[in-house]
A and B are shown apart, each in its own frame.
Chain A
Amino acid sequence: MNSLPSEQNPTPESGAGAVGKPRAAVVIGGNRIPFARSGGSYAYSSNQDMLTAALDGLVARFGLQGDRIGEVAAGAVLKHSRDFNLTREAVLGSALAADTPAYDVQQACATGLETVIGLSNKIKLGQIESGIAGGVDSASDAPVAVSEGLRRVLLDFSRARTTSQKLAALRKLRPADLSPDAPSTAEPRTGLSMGEHQAITTARWNITRQAQDELSLASHVRMAEAYDRGFFDDLVTPFRGVSRDSNLRPDTSLSKLGSLKPVFGRNLADEATMTAGNSTPLTDGAAVVLLGSEEYARENNLPMLANVVDAEAAAVDFVHGKEGLLMAPVYAMPRLLQRNNMTFDDFDFFEIHEAFAGTVLASLAAWEDDDFCRKQLGLPGALGTVDRSKLNVNGSSLAAGHPFAATGARIVASLAKSLAEKGSGRGLISVCAAGGQGVVAILEAR
């Protein structure tokens, strides 16, 4: 099942729309390993281990052994410096052909979605026939850096040529330099953790504790149901003895969620509402998506679940509090809808990444807010209301957990399958990311 040679560039297909538009990029399927809470089952698995496992599961699902894929793009947010070529290394360790090119992408929590968009665009342009997009993250096996002081001493030492230069370098070492720097989820420019940032947004939009807990409960219940009916049978391949996301709590309830103490926003003037129950935990995991042209899929008798229609990225100025850190998708959305001449009514599924329940609810509230949409989004009025029955129908990150770079591929594969099951309609994806960024995308059933 080799990729078609690029000279076989086909004529545009009807699926791509009107004449002159590029051909379609198709989601063929996906695979991920179950996500595990950090420090748990995958505590001793590296990013490369997990990404390789996700790739091998995908290869097994679609019979890609020894195939040369057009390109594999993936990334990790928390990455060791030794993993500079993480994706390529994972490809080399996988059952794919060794002559499959690969590259790393990093756009924080939007990494996975961005790889899907990038490879889809290459497919649409005819540069590649097939691609594997994805991401991986380990908060357990995260890189621990030496302190800035020790790092400088070591670098100076390595540059020193004479003994006296080396000794001079070492003399600069202070005892405090020996304690390591652990990674943190704090935004580099503000020093505030993502949770503290969201706590501000949550409070600004007056999102209640009750509403957040209800959203979290729905996520767990829906994901547990989806597992029970086998929805994930062809989306997840077990890893290290884990066959379901370890964060999933099928038996949780509003009263259990309500009993948790707030963990973010405790320093704010307003009442703190964000708990470990309505925030995603640090998670380990990997996810990948197989993309291809229609020709590639047909040639290799592969399923075609959905088309990748379009995508839009946005960023907000969060540094001095002008906008919430995780509100960028709110800005990307109207631009995407406008370009495609669509409204929320044109969609059957909404996949809004649940970094925190407050993120989803603040986004929904913002799109419904006439004043905000006029002033901040430059719209004539409110963007619209998302039908909650179409939102995250198979659960999302609050239930599955959120290995940063892997989430995009998890969402794309799940949504594509939902669209294929329904047989018609469209799905909208919204993923917020660190650095005040956000990416939204449209998938369409075939």
Chain B
Amino acid sequence: MADTYLKLVNAQPLDRVAKAAGLPRPVPLRRYVSGEPLVPGPVLVLGSSPGTQAVASILLEWNLDVRRHLRPKEKFGAAVVILDELRDPAQLSGAFLELGSVLRQLRPGGRVITISRPTAGATAPQTAAARHAVDGALRSLAKELRGGATANGILLGDDVQTDASGVGAALEFLLSGKSAYVDGQFITIGTSAGTQARRRSAPLAGRTAVVTGAARGIGAEIVRVLHRDGAHIIAVDVPAAGEQLAAVANGVGGTALQVDVTAPDAAGRILRHAATRYGSLDIMVHNAGITRDRLLANMDPARWNSVLAVNLESQLRINEELLASGDFSSAGSIVCLASTSGIAGNRGQTNYAASKAGVIGMVRATADALGGSARSINAVAPGFIETDMTAKIPFATREVARRLSSLQQGGLPVDVAEAVAFLASAGSAGVNGQVLRVCGQNLVGA
């Protein structure tokens, strides 16, 4: 699981060799550590719209060092570019060129965040062009940044202003180390729901979360992060994984629930457990998943069916019962684990990719159905994450997979977990139906 190459190129004497040879030079990413500053330096706010001031106000409220301009050679930690009133591609140059002029002053682990509006909302071709242009510029910028810095965008629905609570939630996530492995992505704030943005150390306090597949790997990390954010944890896994599951639950003061998510009564048992023990269920994280890789030519029914049953059908069935149940909170959030394989496809994974693409379809349709309620459903699509599962990939393939991303390394389970925690809390703030990739801007599937 250890990324030996990453360690070697960050230590003498090989760091110089790597630089001279033009080899990929991944750096350790800036990850969230409780108590550390949100951003490693001043935050540059660029933009001229009225919404710009609202964003600056949010950042000031968080006691950040907010600047409209930088002194020459002054280092900074993040730039937020507000483009919420774009109507013409010609309006792009000012903000982007100004950003470019200071980009070399961005600290390692720095952030660039654009705030613009989705193309789909625009009717005028010029407006749509301008809005979509941000997409290309931002994704390219993400590939140019070095030193573990990332670039991501926030898209505001047409009725949403820059002071919406969802903007604060997304800004906090993207500025912080919690988004370390999220790069070149957009997060859409669909509504102005939610309360005023306020940084809280335990954003999920008082909420009860179910995490399936919690016994190990990414699931265990999701449990840890949700617990860190204040949630009560119900750790779910198959009975056979009970020993590790118990250890995970005991590590966070949660409860272990041994249930096979494919069982017909799985939803009932989860809901009953949550209702009896915690009063209700607020967050459902569908993390349980399996791979049974085979080229389609060699695929057998057992492999195909089991992957679909665990990764997709169980989520469909459980969601159906959850959303029909009064025990699932009226402001409940569902977060589903998809995969970049489900977006871009992956050789040998027709079954897996089918299941994960199916999850994305399910999330979008369910989100539409939830429109108008305070409930939400979103997905996280991890790319190459360093787990026991990916450790089994042959060495050469694994090395290639690691370096294929803009961050030139694999992500860690905690990166996925942070994204899940963000969606679990931002779900109540107008983020719905999103598929957030945690892939380090992997080239695959772009």
Interface residues of A (CB under 8 A from B): 53, 56-57, 59-63, 65-66, 95, 230, 232-234, 236-241, 243, 301-303
A233's partner among B246, B255, B258 (CB-CB below 8 A) is: B258
| Set of chain A residues within 8 Å of B256, measured between Cβ atoms | 57, 60-61, 237
Q: Which of A66, A95, A230, A232 has the most CB of B within 10 A?
A: A230
Interface residues of B (CB under 8 A from A): 235, 239-243, 245-247, 249-250, 253-260, 263, 265, 276-279
Least Cβ–Cβ distance between A49 and chain B, in angstroms? 12
Residue from the set B243, B247, B255, B257 with the largest chain A CB neighbour count within 10 Å: B243
Q: Does A243 contact B246, Cβ atoms closer than 8 Å?
A: no
| Interface contact B258-A59, CB-CB below 8 Å | no
A218 CB to nearest B CB, Å: 24
CB distance A60 to B249 under 8 Å?
Answer: yes
Pairs of residues from A and B, 5 with the lowest C-beta to C-beta distance, nearest first: A60-B246, A60-B256, A60-B249, A95-B250, A237-B242
Q: Quick one: closest B residue to A61, CB to CB?
A: B256
Residues in chain B near residue A301, CB distance under 8 A: 276-279
Is chain A's interface secondary structure helix, strand, loop, or mixed overall? loop
In the bound complex, residues from chain B placing their C-beta under 8 Å from that of A61 are 246, 255-257
For residue B254, which residues in chain A have a CB less than 8 angstroms away from its CB? Answer: 60, 63
The distance from the CB of A145 to the nearest CB of chain B, in whole angstroms, is 32
> How many Cβ-Cβ contacts under 8 Å join chain A to chain B?
72
Q: Name the residue on A nearest B279 (C-beta).
A: A301
Q: A57-B256, A60-B256 are in contact. Are A232 and B239 (CB under 8 A)?
A: yes
CB-based contact B276/A236 at 8 Å:
no
Counting chain B CB atoms within 10 Å of each CB, the highest count among A56, A232, A302 belongs to A56
In the complex, are the beta carbons of A237 and B255 less than 8 A apart?
no
Contact B255 A63 (CB under 8 A): yes
Once bound together, how far apart are the Cα atoms of A233 and B263, in whole Å? 12
| A contact residues around B255 at 8 Å (CB) | 60-63
Shortest distance between the CB of A63 and any CB in chain B (Å): 4
**Distance in Å: Cβ of B211 to nearest Cβ of chain A:** 14
Give chain A residues whose Cβ lies under 8 Å from the Cβ of B257.
61, 234
On whether the beta carbons of B259 and A238 are closer than 8 Å, the reply is: no
Q: B245: which A residues are within 8 A, CB to CB?
A: 60, 237
Residues of B within 8 A of A59 (CB): 246, 250
Q: Per a CB cutoff under 8 Å, which of B240, B250, B260 touches A60?
A: B250
Chain A CB within 10 Å, residue with most, of B256, B257, B277: B256
Shortest Cβ distance from A31 into B: residue: B246
Q: Which residue of A lies closest to B255 (CB)?
A: A63
In the complex the two chains form, what is the Cα distance from A53 to B256 in whole Å?
14
Asked whether A243 lies within 8 Å of B276 as measured between CB atoms, the reply is no
- When the two chains form their complex, are residues B246 and A230 in contact, meaning their CB atoms are under 8 A apart? no
CB distance from B350 to the nearest CB of A (A): 30
Residues of A within 8 A of B277 (CB): 63, 301-302
- Supposing A243-B240, A301-B276, A301-B279 touch, asked if A237 and B246 sit within 8 A by C-beta, the answer is yes
Complex contact A63–B249 (CB within 8 A):
yes
In the complex, besides A63-B253, A233-B259, 11 extra interface pairs with C-beta distance below 8 angstroms are: A57-B242, A60-B249, A60-B254, A61-B256, A65-B249, A233-B258, A236-B242, A237-B242, A240-B243, A243-B239, A243-B240
Known: A60-B245, A301-B276, A303-B276. A237 touches B258 (CB 8 A): yes
Q: Which residue in B235, B240, B276, B278 is a CB contact (below 8 Å) of A238? A: B240
Closest-by-CB residue of A relative to B234 is A63
C-alpha gap A265/B440 in the complex (Å)? 72
A288 to chain B, nearest CB (A): 13
Q: How far is the CA of A59 from the CA of B250 in the complex (A)?
A: 7
Chain A residues contacting B259 (CB-CB under 8 Å) are 230, 233
Q: How far is it, in angstroms, between the C-alpha of A57 and the C-alpha of B248 when the chains are bound? A: 11
CB distance from A51 to the nearest CB of B (A): 14
Which residues of B have CB within 8 Å of A63?
249, 253-255, 277
- Chain A residues in 8 Å Cβ range of B265: 230
**Which residues of B lie under 8 Å from residue A238 when comparing CB positions?**
239-243
Please indicate the chain B residues that have their CB under 8 angstroms from the CB of A65 in the complex: 249-250, 253
CB distance from B430 to the nearest CB of A (A): 32
Chain B residues contacting A232 (CB-CB under 8 Å) are: 239
A357 to chain B, nearest CB (A): 28
Chain B residues with CB below 8 A from A57, complex form: 242-243, 246, 256
A433 to B249, CA, bound (A): 36
Q: Are B246 and A234 in contact (CB under 8 A)?
A: no
Q: When chains A and B are docked, how far (Å) is the Cα of A230 from the Cα of B265? A: 10
CA distance in complex: A18, B277 (Å) = 30
B243→A239 contact, CB < 8 A: yes
Query: CA–CA, A57 to B257, complex, Å?
Result: 10
Nearest CB of B to A232, in Å: 7
Chain B nearest CB from A411 CB (Å) reads: 20
The 20 listed contacts between A and B (C-beta, < 8 Å) are: A53-B243, A56-B247, A57-B243, A57-B246, A57-B256, A59-B250, A60-B249, A60-B254, A61-B246, A63-B249, A63-B277, A95-B250, A230-B265, A232-B239, A233-B258, A233-B259, A233-B260, A234-B257, A238-B241, A239-B243
Report the Cα distance A243→B245, complex, angstroms. Answer: 13
Give bound CA distance, A56 to B254, whole Å. 12
Could you tell me the distance between the alpha carbons of A238 and B258 in the complex, rounded to whole angstroms?
10
Write the nearest CB–CB distance from B256 to chain A, whole angstroms: 4
CB–CB B243/A230 < 8 A:
no
Q: How far is the CB of A323 from chain B (nearest CB, A)?
A: 42
A406 to chain B minimum Cβ distance, whole angstroms, is 17
A233 near B253 (CB under 8 angstroms)?
A: no
Q: How far is it, in angstroms, between the C-alpha of A237 and the C-alpha of B240 when the chains are bound? A: 8
Residue of B at shortest CB range from A96?
B250
How many whole Å from B369's CB to the nearest CB in chain A?
Answer: 30
Most buried by B among A56, A57, A62, A95: A57
Please name the residue on chain B nearest to A58 by beta carbon. Answer: B246
CA distance A63 to B252 in the complex (A): 9
CA–CA, A384 to B278, complex, Å?
Answer: 45
> Do B239 and A236 touch across chains, with their CB atoms under 8 A apart?
yes
Q: For the complex, what is the distance from the CA of A59 to the CA of B263, rounded to whole Å?
A: 24
- B250 near A56: Cβ-Cβ < 8 Å: yes
Q: How far is the CB of B398 from chain A (nearest CB, A)?
A: 27
Complex: A236 Cα to B257 Cα, angstroms: 11
Q: CB distance B247 to A230 under 8 Å?
A: no
Residue picked from A60, A232, A236, A301, most chain B C-beta under 10 Å:
A60
Q: B263 to A230, Cβ gap below 8 A?
A: yes
With beta carbons under 8 angstroms apart, the residue of A66, A230, A234, A243 that contacts B253 is A66
